[in-house]
Amino acid sequence: MAPPSHLVALNSAGLRFGTKVLFEDLSFGLARGEKACLVGRNGTGKSTLLKIMAGQQELDDGQRFLQPGINVAYLPQDPVFDHDETVFEHVKAGLRPEMSEADYLVDAMLLHVDLPGDRLLTGLSGGEGRRAALARVLISDPEVLLMDEPTNHLDLPTIQWLEEELGRFRGALMVISHDRTFLNHLTRQTFWLDRGKINRLGKGFEHYEAWADEMRENEEQEFHRLKRKIVREEHWLQRGVTGRRKRNMGRLRNLQDLRQKRNEWMKAPGTAKLQIDTLDTGGDKVITAENICKSYPLKDGGTREIIKSFSTKVKRGDRIGIVGPNGAGKSTVVKMLLGRIEPDSGTVNLGTNLTTLYFDQKREDLDPNSTLWETMSPGGGDSIMVRGRQKHVVSYLKDFLFDEGQVRQPIYTLSGGEKNRLLLARMFAQASNLLVLDEPTNDLDMDTLDLLVEVLDEYDGTLLLVSHDRDFLDRLATAIYAVEGDGTVVEYAGGYSDYRNQKALGTASSEQLDQSSSSGSATPARKESGSRPKPLKSNAKLGYKEQRELDSLPRLMKKLTDQAEKFETEMADPQLYSKNPLKFQETSKLLEETQNDLATAEERWLELEEKQENLRSGKIH
């Protein structure tokens, strides 16, 4: 049974999908007042585990414990709506039975999430649907709250409101999210689901990465020791287990256990291999906008101003983050700057030889009935051009963590994170000098998100980033366009945190007022390009010789492994010693030398890999 303090817990839990073991012998729980995050790579079973905690899915083994009288509320990653319901009816269904007539609570909650109660669910956007689902789980006043990617499709004001609400929550909370800032502000405990096991850290997410790095480093060292032990045991096995079979069967079983443990460690999830090339064409000027305005007619005969008057200059290498509430007009601003929508007044001039790639968060360019293969190679064939070179479709998709069995499946079978990875795969196969990303971080696991940041950090072209992910913007953006929703668009220097600080001090607002009074234009508040702050990044790399050595070591290790296996096969012949003692001694010596050379190569490879990783992370310079 679970400890009395746990409101909900799993004991010796196990689940399998066909022959695939998702997890086994897994035990943990949540106590009142605990605010925890569940982290792990896509595909490890986080969402499934949360469903089991919520009682939405059965276990194959073990038990789910829930204290009597405890109310559990669960927010799925992709809520399913009854499209004949109104928003009011959907939220009211979340009330506890004893409060079922408290319509005033529903009205108050709808005010918080800024939704009209009489709208049908079928007409809601992604962000509105998420807010309706949040309102339903929060109004239930649960003792246990389980939330899967609650910030997806939410704008920044709503995310900050949600942080405040959950900060006041006194029950047990577990949340899955890719939003680092959200998790840093909220969580006090971290559960890491990795290869079917739960690792627990009694601290919030802000301490997770250092802890995970330490655990991975310890595992690498243990894995290396394990490989060396297996080599020694296999050498012993070839030398004479037959003659000492009875007293050494225990040692043989131990060797088999070691091999099994190594296989489990080698099943660690891979890392996507993201790369993007920059075209050298085009000049320094990318976009110049002068006093652009845009408004749309309303049904009541009035007009809605999206942009009153906005001027800006975007130069090559700029990284512009575009923020604002949902519906404020961020997409309209982007499309006007790209020349896809004409302004009502003012001018937009684009630079020469621009090659633009556009990441659409709605995934409208993806045909759900097409296969991954057809999406990557719509004209047929089994290869595509990737940054000017031919590459097999399957090989390229494997770089983005798709397995061979998925490439012939239709897109509608993919998860949200997999669809985003597919879009990135299709985009990154092409070179560009202007990259527009509309909410690229939704549904990506943190490791892929980190890699995406690294790739964009090395991109020499121009970036336009529409995002509600504060950490993502802080790590990449050199300027922020704040689309306020009242027709005002203001430009701030730096990343998201800089924007918030400047806005709090009124820096940009005062400059904008001064400039608009003289020119009628909301001129940018940022500095000129030459003095613009750049995100911190490490340019430290391995030296030329060390990099060449690191690149060649995998081939050397493969060659030595093959040679060792060849010698081991020869020595496995029980007649070798009696037939040819000299050959036996020679082969034994060669095997030992090869194994020593392999151990030396592996040690050197680990040393260089660790040095390269420390250089990239800035631990050494």
Quickly state the pLDDT bin for 523 (edges 50, 70, 90): very low
Residue of 55, 98, 91, 70 whose CA lies nearest to 172: 70
Q: How many domains does the chain have?
A: 4
Q: Indicate the pTM of the whole model.
A: 0.68
In the predicted structure, residue 522 carries a pLDDT above the cut 60: no
Q: Give a yes or no: residue 364 inside a domain.
A: no
Within 274-336, strands assigned E span 285-297, 303-315, 319-323
Q: Which residues of 414-431 are buried (b: 16+ CB within 10 A; e: fewer)?
A: bebbbbbbbbbbbbbbbb
CATH at 496: 3.40.50.300
Who contacts 19 (Cβ-Cβ below 8 Å, separation ≥6)? none
Residues 137 and 76 in one domain: yes
Residues 192 and 115 in one domain: yes
Q: Give a yes or no: residue 421 inside a domain.
A: no
The pLDDT of residue 252 is 52
Tokens 């020469």 — which residue? 352
81-120 per-position pLDDT tens digit? 887 899 999 999 999 888 877 888 999 999 888 899 999 9
Within 378-519, strands assigned E span 383-386, 389-392, 434-438, 462-466, 479-483, 489-493
In the predicted structure, residue 618 carries a pLDDT above the cut 70: no
233-245 per-position pLDDT tens digit? 555 555 554 444 4
Listed residues 210, 237, 259: the one ending a domain: 210
Calpha distance 286→408 (Å, rounded): 39
Secondary-structure breakdown of the chain: helix, strand, coil percentages, each rounded to the nearest 5: 45, 20, 35
- DSSP conformational letter for 351: P
Q: What is the DSSP string of 540-595?
A: ----HHHHHHHHHHHHHHHHHHHHHHHHHHHHT-TTHHHH-HHHHHHHHHHHHHHH
Listed residues 527, 555, 581: the one ending a domain: 527
Calpha distance 56→16 (Å, rounded): 16
> What tokens does 369 get?
């009935």
CB-CB neighbours of 295 under 10 Å: 16
109-120 per-position pLDDT tens digit? 998 888 999 999
Calpha distance 138→164 (Å, rounded): 12
Residues 200 and 332 in one domain: no
CB-CB neighbours of 148 under 10 Å: 21
Residues 480 and 333 in one domain: yes
Q: Give a yes or no: residue 363 inside a domain.
A: no
The pLDDT of residue 382 is 82
398-447 per-position pLDDT tens digit? 888 787 888 888 888 887 777 878 888 888 888 889 999 988 887 777 87
| Domain with 247 in it | 219-269
Residues 562 and 612 in one domain: yes
Residue of 456, 361, 416 whose CA lies nearest to 42: 416
Residues 68 and 166 in one domain: yes
